[in-house]
């Protein structure tokens, strides 16, 4: 499942400067909506994707923000914090 806003400018989608890679997620309870709500406090989240194989979560995700500044703030504030008893 992927939650995202439409982004017509492909250079913005592919640049990567507004993206975060999140790992060590709880593989039994995490989903894209939970991550979307967690990270949306840092400004507009454009895309949230929990990576799965078939029906199983792989334990990592990608979050895309509207601005690089928002991505940096989210990284600084959540890096190493607990989310569902897992240090991300």
Write the pLDDT tens digit of every residue in 14-73.
Answer: 566 688 888 888 888 888 888 888 888 888 888 888 888 888 889 899 898 888 888 889
């309870």: which residue's tokens?
29
Q: Which two tokens stand for residue 46?
A: 């454009």
pLDDT at 6: 45
**What is the rounded distance in angstroms from the CA atom of residue 8 to the CA atom of residue 5?**
10
Using CB atoms within 10 Å of the CB of residue 12, give its burial: 0 to 12 exposed, 13 to 18 middle, 19+ buried. middle
| Domains of the chain with CATH codes | 2-87 (3.30.70.330)
Length of the chain (residues): 88
Question: At 79, which helix (H) or strand (E)?
Answer: none
Evaluate if residue 9 carries a pLDDT over 70: no
Rounded mean pLDDT of 79-85?
A: 82
pLDDT band at residue 11 under the 50/70/90 scheme = low
């Amino acid at each position: 499942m992927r939650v995202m806003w439409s982004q017509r400018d492909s250079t913005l989608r592919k640049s990567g400067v507004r993206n975060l890679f999140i790992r060590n997620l709880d593989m039994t309870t995490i989903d894209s909506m939970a991550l979307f709500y967690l990270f949306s406090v840092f400004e507009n989240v454009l895309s949230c994707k929990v990576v799965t194989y078939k029906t199983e979560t792989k334990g990592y995700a990608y979050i895309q923000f509207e601005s690089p500044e928002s991505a940096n703030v989210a990284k600084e504030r959540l890096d190493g914090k607990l989310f569902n008893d897992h240090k991300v």
